[in-house]
Amino acid sequence: MEKRPSGIKPESWLVSAGRASEPGAPLNVPPIPASNFIIGREREYSRDDGTPTWEALEEVVGGLESGKAVAFASGMAAIAAVFDQLAAGAVVVLPDDCYQGVVGLAAAGAERQRWSVQRVAVDDTAGWIRACGVADLIWLESPSNPLLTVADLEAVCAAPRKPGAIVAVDNTFATPLNQQPLDFGATVSLQSATKFIGGHSDLLAGVATTKDDALWHALRKSRELTGATPGTLEAFLAVRGARTLALRLQRAQQTAMLLAERLEEHPLVTRVRYPGLPSHPTHAMAKRVLKGFGTIISFDLLGGAEIADRVCRNVRLIRHATSLGAVESTMERRAAIPGQGHLPPSLLRLSVGIEDADDLWVDLDSAIRSAAQ
């Protein structure tokens, strides 16, 4: 797996990595739908040894994250592989605001007495530092989903930790272009490539990246034993989508900032959560640890859940759909999802795409005003 040279910027790596270099080779690594290979070299069976298509995705994301990557069938498969490293009786610490898939996985393991689970507020840096001394898995998510709280990753990742403990950072919202958890000292960085890496709502994939060779081998072994392998077409599409990540992120972040500022002035919006706004509780931290503020906005509406649901039904350009990080803007009421009782009932999470900013504002403003009538 080729590493990103120190003189190559991430924007160039996105375009150049994961390609063959020998004369006569295809410019793009093709989808290789093969489960087995002719015996005689290092690659014999794809579940064990991977494929060139998977490896292209691993090279792209691993170089972005400054480590060695392992591709999985989904973001949750990558997450499950990290949890798979825990011994019986382990202590897991999760953020108070966290992706529900992780919360569900941790709860299921706790019910089977595989581990115990503690929760710490995302912005409670002192609490996280204390947890590092007792936890076997520190699970950080920053910015958090969906309240967009930014953690002091630098301090937490550098804190003394229990021997053998894993500090894992879900870096999906920030993307490797805005945040480098491994450089802060995290053990492993996770990407749901379904989101920003793929960028087109047409695949499921996940990637775990680490600088720890032993953990890298262990994650590959977990993928092999559980069969959590990425699909051939999905890996190909993720690589193709990643080529434009820098452009998509730049455009969507600019629009997100504009929409967040306008939403903050809207008479029917009671609160806007976006790390780029000075009013955001962790804005100062975001300026320190993030290179960009991202494309996700969460905001609360006057009138409660019913009004929020109407807004989701009223939008036309923005799609009423889950997930995020794609070229199209999507929005949903997160408290409608089971297990999200800590969220305000009227909170909407908006994933900003690459459409025209003014068109998105007209659609959003019209939907809000019509819902309130």
Options 4, 68, 99, 223, the catalytic residue: 99
User: Given strand 296-301, what is the order of strands in its sheet?
Assistant: 269-273, 296-301, 348-351, 330-333, 319-320
Whether 45 is a known active-site residue: answer no
Whether 248 is a known active-site residue: answer no
Options 3, 47, 130, 271, the catalytic residue: 47
CA distances from 79 to 71, 85, 168, 191, 370 (A): 11, 10, 9, 9, 41
Whether 274 is a known active-site residue: answer no
Options 68, 161, 195, 251, the catalytic residue: 195
Residue 152 CA to residue 140 CA, distance in Å, equals 10
Residue 139 CA to residue 154 CA, distance in Å, equals 14
Tokens of 169: 């950072």
Whether 170 is a known active-site residue: answer yes
Tokens of 143: 């910015």
Torsion of CA 242, 247, 248, 251, to 10 degrees: 170
C-alpha neighbours within 13 Å on the C-beta side of residue 62: 22
Options 97, 152, 170, 309, the catalytic residue: 170
Question: Mind giving me the DSSP string for 2-34?
Answer: PPPPTTS-HHHHHHHTT---STTS-SSPPP---
CA 3 to chain centre: 21
Q: Are 123 and 151 in contact (CB under 8 A)?
A: yes
C-alpha neighbours within 13 Å on the C-beta side of residue 19: 15
Where in the sequence numbering do the catalytic residues fall? Answer: 47, 99, 170, 195
